[in-house]
Structure 1
Amino acid sequence: WGAALVQRIKEASHAQYVVTLGLVPLTMLLFGQYSLVSPIANAIAIPLVSLVITPLALVGSVLPTVLAQFVLQVPHLLLVWLADLLQVLSAMPWAVWQTPLPNGWVFALALGGTLLVLAPRGWPVRWLGLFGWLPLLLNAPVAPAEGSMRVTAFDVGQGMAVLVETPGHRLLYDTGPYYSAESDGATRVILPYLRARGIDHLDRVVISHNDNDHSGGAVSLFKNMAVDSVYSSLAEDSPILRVAPLATRCEAGQSWNWDGIGFTMLHPTPASYESDKWRPNARSCVLKVQIGRQSVLLAGDIEAVQEDELLNGRMAERLPSTVLLAPHHGSGTSSTEPFLRAVRPELAVFQVGYRNRFNHPRPDVYERYGRLGIRRLRTDESGALTMTLGDQLQVEQYRKQHARYWYGR
């Protein structure tokens, strides 16, 4: 009996080994992560559920009520114990192996290597299959090259969310809108993108202001992503700041440098926090990011009054930028002509939702950009926009790079 039991355990262990190893390439291709504790969890859960919990549950279902309530207590307690154990395993720091989604050739090499390793005994040089895994094991997040930065304007619907990447740091400007109790800009767009890239850490998050379409995904982001610090114009009693790490108030004049790339806060002024006459839009954190002669101006939801303050304030000389994130999504209360002439952008990005109820961007405002010779791109038409700045400006439009018939024309 003992020898038979040992043999069964060996067979079950080998089956688990084959399944575990065989599914790794496909799981990494589909999800960009693999549960390292799954073999342990399966080794405990499968026999416990199959041999104990399920039979006792079936027996309890046909017994009289008086007896069933005692018999069913056992599988219930075992399930509770199993759930607690699985939670402990999933909370382990090494529980999940996460990498960027592999491209085609990395997946093909890993799959071929796996098939070779799992070939029948006697197959020649099975150990060479391990080398097929090397590209997958060494797959790491790709950062911009030295002397350049990458800016990604996400397609989050009617809202803002922009990722700025330098060779060694990452900053997220705004977190998209809140859709429902189950989803928001972070859970539906930002976090899946970061995980697919293998990014598990952000150096800084800037929340321009309190409006839902800019801060709606903040709480989800902080709960699911490691963030070093937060800059915002939120009120001190904001629920977001209760879960935000190392929060600092945005103020004009703040600056820092990452990898030779300068970050400067142009708005709001400290005095604006003392007044109660302004809506949250007026206190939007306006951030300029500059690398050499190329720069991006992230303007939040500032409106005509704040644009005029910038034109006539001490930060006016910093306004000229290569790329402008259109203020307030191109609303009728922003993007005044004097402001656009002062910024003189080559490209304006409009983060707007398809057929949004605000009619953003306003047709006359959108035309104003065109009349001034500014190239215009909209996330509702182009999808996510990825801009690389350095020696020159390069722009990738997701829907052109990954065309699908349902995008329409």
Structure 2
Amino acid sequence: MILAALMFVFGAWNVQQLAQLPSVTWLTCAFFIVVAISVAYSRFLPDYLSPNYLSSKVLKRTLLCIAAFLLGVCWASGFAYWRMNDELPHVWEQKDIAIEGVVASMPEATERGERFKFDVEKILTTGAIVPKHISLNQYRAYSHGGNRDSNKDAVDDAAELNQFHAGERWSLVVRLKRPHGTVNPHGFDFESWALAENIRATGSIKSKAGLKKIDDFVWRSSYVVEQFREQVQKRITKVLAGKPYSGVIQALVMGDDSQISVEDWQVFLRTGTSHLMSISGLHITMLAGLAFGFVSFFWRRSHQLVMKLPTRKAATFAGVVVALTYSLIAGFSVPSQRTFYMLLVFSVALWSGRQLVISQVLAIALLIVVLLDPWAVSSPGFWLSFGAVAMLAYALGGRVGQAHWFQAALKTQYAVTIGMLPLLLVLFGQASVISPIANAFAIPLISFVVTPLALLGSFLPIDTPLNLSYEALEVGMLALKWLNQLPAAIWQQHEPAAWTLIPAMLGVLWLLLPRGFPMRWMGLLGFLPILLLVPTRPALGDMKVTVLDVGQGLSVVVQTAKHNMVYDSGPKYNEQSDAGSRIVVPFLHGEGIKKVDGFVVSHNDIDHSGGMASVLALMTVTWLDSSLPEDADIPATQRKMRCFAGQHWVWDDVQFEMLHPRAESYDDANIKDNDRSCVLKVTSQAGSVLLTGDIEKLDELELINLEADQLKSDVIVVPHHGSKTSSTPDFIEAVAPRVSIFTNGYLNRFGHPKPVVFERYRATQSLLYRSDYNGAIEMNFVSKRNIQIVSWRNQYKRYWQDSFEPLN
């Protein structure tokens, strides 16, 4: 059974790696093979008919594994076909559509308004096609004189926030688009997440016109749960108003970590305690155990109750009910699902009088999770959650003798730390060095003090428990922040190849063998590939240029044999999120880059400099070159300079030349930020790339007049994202690019790239790329006039991603 469950999960996982779903014909054939194997397994291959019992057993297990794998493929593919068919057609993107439906989730506060899931019941616009499950934003009204241009989807000034509540039925006018995220090496896949969450379109409420509440509440179990979650959130917000860690309490009680600050998340990640700051299996198990003990204490004291139902069964039932309730309040995440299903399997076994070992329980829970949610296999939490329990079962189960509680605690922490290290390095490229120390006090504090008090104060009209919970959390945060200041708090490295996980896990299993096994230290050899096989660097004179997909903005990373340069840092999305922390730094870490030798910020537009603060805070940067104003928010300790034409340096036989702006332009306060963009040309022995920022027509004319001989380049990152204010025919002719790259957001509000500009580059027979269509563009300049180009969205395509018409 265990092997069959693992093969089923393996089949479901393989589906999530496909660029295209298997055909219906293929799936039908696979299903009939499963049926045939099942019949043969049960009727035609009994062991006692076989002259060779061992061969018969091996054959039966092999057939069982094949059937389980194919069934996993069919199951996950069937779910994918069903969900993918519910989609928003391209022709209805960014059009006003009147719909009627129910607020399906607790509204989540954002910087500019609120966001919630919405179940569509009726489409009121004739001919429109809208998915049944969408995510909507309502944006905060702007005061008169505010900058409306920063978000054209903002509602009008009369609109109000906080008027939507879970379970309400509304009539709305919305503007939607298909789920579309940035696609980068070592980056987060928003489209995969949206599919797993069954969000088939995203958008905003357009105006007050058509906005009408129809029903105060629609009775449905999921809406009841969401409404209760909303009430709990309001209570926590009210009692802990203005306190910096109230978001952590909210995460512990209801699994909503959206209000935890970026700084606090960094502390949790660096100390290895992030698993405690949301609903974890430990919390659910603890609550279920408390319910078990409470019911057991009182049940056994009533003869009538005991005669009707044994104490142990009654207490077990109570524990399962509490675990289910808490899991639902927490949003039923993968860790909570895993814990609940394990407790449920244990409870069913107890009620039926069966004996199950932990590996069987874990396999059944694993199977149930993937049966209900085939996309769970794409979640890092899925592997970390089940992996941690499996590692504990392996390291602590079946050992002779009983250790002292302190020794057992140390061994538990050792097993989890060593056991999860390979997964953490493959999934995130980092692991906390101080995690054992931090968890030693954080686990008991959070699980046995903070969480129970927070739950008690959230569900009862008594403020004292919530306040006590917060005070205990403050003590823990002080200790975690002190640990976070240690210089070697975290091990950061490149993101290793997936195959290196296999020898590393084999090494872990060897290291965690019982005492007495010889040469357990040799398990460390399994870690060598995951630690030592670093990404290949360009040869001397060559370079690797990656134009990252940051949405409507720009960020480029240039790698030479021994140096690294970042040009621009992408946009700032909101106060807690920017492209620097979400895209640029994860890419640098994934590539094994620990130091940025040069950081060029072309100009002071938020779509180019928005991620600068994160890059400076999270990376070691040797120097910063920019056209930013003197009062820009740059750390005083950072070495910085102004970019100007004539700056020149050579790294590893690769030349860097600054072509714009003129040094004297800084004396003219009337020059716009765009016109002062740092224009940089990078030349290797294999070719050159021109990075242009947001220069416009007059700047292009100036470059043609003053730097005409230097403009010709093999690759150009198109000025100003393809705006009609740039890319004059004369400038394009002077550059004569073989490759032209447009960096713009999907369906951006500016309409970039403008069709007329796009056609100008097409007319030159240049090879065209768009970051919204192609994702990150990786270019390896490896030999004379040879540029190897990888379009990340096309090269590493998954079945849930949109396909676009060829650009060339």
**TM-score with structure 1 setting the length:** 0.90
Which structure 2 residues correspond to residues 42-121 of structure 1 after superposition, within 5 A? 42-48=439-445, 79-121=473-515
Equivalent residue for 2:242? none
**Does structure 1 residue 383 correspond to structure 2 residue 775?**
yes
Write the letter of the residue equivalent to 1:18: A
Equivalent residue for 1:7? 404
**Does structure 1 residue 169 correspond to structure 2 residue 563?**
yes
Equivalent residue for 1:324? 716
Larger mean Cα displacement after TM superposition, 351-360 or 38-47: 38-47
Which of 549, 557, 578 is residue 184 of structure 1 equivalent to?
578
Equivalent residue for 2:599? 205
Write the letter of the residue equivalent to 1:357: R
| Residues 497 and 530, structure 2, Cα contact 8 Å, conserved in 1 | no
Deviation for aligned residue 1:27: 1.5
1:137 match: secondary structure: helix
| Residues 542 and 560, structure 2, Cα contact 8 Å, conserved in 1 | yes
Write the letter of the residue equivalent to 1:322: D
Distance in 1 between residues matched to 2:456 and 2:552, nearest whole Å? 55
**Does structure 1 residue 39 correspond to structure 2 residue 436?**
yes
| Residues 504 and 527, structure 2, Cα contact 8 Å, conserved in 1 | yes
Equivalent residue for 2:525? 131
Deviation for aligned residue 1:47: 4.4
Which of 1, 18, 22 is residue 415 of structure 2 equivalent to?
18
Deviation for aligned residue 1:74: 8.4
**Does structure 1 residue 343 correspond to structure 2 residue 740?**
no
Instruction: Provide closer, same or farther for how the CA distance between residues 6 and 382 of structure 1 changes in structure 2, counting only shifts above 3 A.
Output: closer
Distance in 2 between residues matched to 1:54 and 1:178, nearest whole Å? 34
Larger mean Cα displacement after TM superposition, 346-355 or 272-281: 272-281
| Residues 142 and 197, structure 1, Cα contact 8 Å, conserved in 2 | no
Deviation for aligned residue 1:374: 1.1
Which structure 2 residues correspond to residues 139-288 of structure 1 after superposition, within 5 A? 139-239=533-633, 241-242=634-635, 245-288=638-681
Instruction: Provide closer, same or farther for how the CA distance between residues 280 and 43 of structure 1 changes in structure 2, counting only shifts above 3 A.
Output: same
| Residues 153 and 161, structure 1, Cα contact 8 Å, conserved in 2 | yes
Write the letter of the residue equivalent to 2:775: G
Distance in 1 between residues matched to 2:441 and 2:776, nearest whole Å? 44
Alignment deviations for residues 49-73 of structure 1 (CA, whole Å, 9 cap, x no partner):
5677789999999xxx9xx97x999
Deviation for aligned residue 1:252: 0.3
Larger mean Cα displacement after TM superposition, 189-198 or 110-119: 189-198
| Residues 99 and 139, structure 1, Cα contact 8 Å, conserved in 2 | no
Deviation for aligned residue 1:377: 0.7
| Residues 538 and 782, structure 2, Cα contact 8 Å, conserved in 1 | no
Equivalent residue for 1:405? 799
Write the letter of the residue equivalent to 1:248: M
Instruction: Provide closer, same or farther for how the CA distance between residues 389 and 37 of structure 1 changes in structure 2, counting only shifts above 3 A.
Output: same
Distance in 1 between residues matched to 2:601 and 2:456, nearest whole Å? 57
Distance in 2 between residues matched to 1:58 and 1:158, nearest whole Å? 42
Instruction: Provide closer, same or farther for how the CA distance between residues 184 and 51 of structure 1 changes in structure 2, counting only shifts above 3 A.
Output: closer
| Residues 222 and 243, structure 1, Cα contact 8 Å, conserved in 2 | no
Deviation for aligned residue 1:250: 0.8
Distance in 1 between residues matched to 2:547 and 2:654, nearest whole Å? 19
1:349 match: secondary structure: strand
Q: Percent identity?
A: 46
Instruction: Provide closer, same or farther for how the CA distance between residues 365 and 88 of structure 1 changes in structure 2, counting only shifts above 3 A.
Output: same
Deviation for aligned residue 1:81: 3.3
Write the letter of the residue equivalent to 2:733: R
Distance in 2 between residues matched to 1:110 and 1:289, nearest whole Å? 40
Instruction: Provide closer, same or farther for how the CA distance between residues 403 and 73 of structure 1 changes in structure 2, counting only shifts above 3 A.
Output: closer
Distance in 2 between residues matched to 1:370 and 1:379, nearest whole Å? 16
**TM-score with structure 2 setting the length:** 0.47
| Residues 542 and 686, structure 2, Cα contact 8 Å, conserved in 1 | no
Which of 730, 746, 756 is residue 364 of structure 1 equivalent to?
756
Write the letter of the residue equivalent to 2:676: R
As a proportion of its length, which structure holds more strand? 1
| Residues 141 and 199, structure 1, Cα contact 8 Å, conserved in 2 | no
Q: Number of matched residues?
A: 397
Distance in 2 between residues matched to 1:55 and 1:337, nearest whole Å? 68
Larger mean Cα displacement after TM superposition, 97-106 or 203-212: 97-106
Instruction: Provide closer, same or farther for how the CA distance between residues 320 and 44 of structure 1 changes in structure 2, counting only shifts above 3 A.
Output: same
| Residues 230 and 244, structure 1, Cα contact 8 Å, conserved in 2 | no
Distance in 2 between residues matched to 1:121 and 1:6, nearest whole Å? 12
Alignment deviations for residues 68-117 of structure 1 (CA, whole Å, 9 cap, x no partner):
97x99987765433321211112211111111122122111101110111
Equivalent residue for 1:310? 703
Distance in 1 between residues matched to 2:599 and 2:678, nearest whole Å? 11
| Residues 604 and 628, structure 2, Cα contact 8 Å, conserved in 1 | yes
Distance in 2 between residues matched to 1:58 and 1:187, nearest whole Å? 33
Q: Which runs of 5+ in 2 are unaligned?
A: 1-401, 804-808
| Residues 350 and 361, structure 1, Cα contact 8 Å, conserved in 2 | yes
Larger mean Cα displacement after TM superposition, 128-137 or 366-375: 128-137
CA RMSD of aligned residues (A): 2.6
Distance in 1 between residues matched to 2:466 and 2:773, nearest whole Å? 57
Write the letter of the residue equivalent to 2:689: V
Question: Rg larger in 1 or in 2?
Answer: 2
| Residues 301 and 329, structure 1, Cα contact 8 Å, conserved in 2 | yes
| Residues 329 and 352, structure 1, Cα contact 8 Å, conserved in 2 | yes
Q: Which runs of 5+ in 1 are unaligned?
A: none
